[in-house]
Amino acid sequence: MTKNLSSQHMQAKISPEHLKWAQSVDKTLSAGVDMGVPIGQDPTGVYNAFEQGNSNGTLIRIGATASTEAIKWSGIGVGIVIQHGLDRQPIGFKIVDKDKSVDVFRTAVPTDTTITLAPTDNTASVTVYVF
């Protein structure tokens, strides 16, 4: 019977690039898949800034027109161009948090660098997962 070695045990034996990969694989195999890691909150305590997780997508917070968020809606039905950072055309997006009833829709075909989204209510703030 072979004993599994953790990625931490491998730290002294492999390069930093390979270690990062091994840690990601170890985390994934240990049921540690995550969509993103929150790194900031708005004044109400809602997460609004994220580091990319180990899944193949990214979380983005889009604020109401009057909010203090870095990315904000322009108007109802008006698309805003968002840099997603995936380096590939996204498959789509999913709303994962919203502060009121709102729908979000795509107004242009996504590219390797951007996705263009618009709200049905620009007074709503949402977090979308672009994948």
Q: Is the predicted pLDDT of residue 75 greater than 90, yes or no? A: yes
Assess whether 40 and 19 both reside in one domain. no
Q: Specify the number of domains making up the chain.
A: 2
Round to whole Å and give the CA distance between 84 and 76.
21
- What domain range is 40 assigned to? 36-130
Task: Calculate mean pLDDT across residues 13-33.
Answer: 77
User: What pLDDT is attached to residue 7?
Assistant: 54
Assess whether 52 and 100 both reside in one domain. yes
Amino acid identity of 85? G
Assess whether 4 and 43 both reside in one domain. no
pTM beyond 0.75: the answer is no
Assess whether 126 and 105 both reside in one domain. yes
Round to whole Å and give the CA distance between 73 and 13.
49
Assess whether 40 and 28 both reside in one domain. no
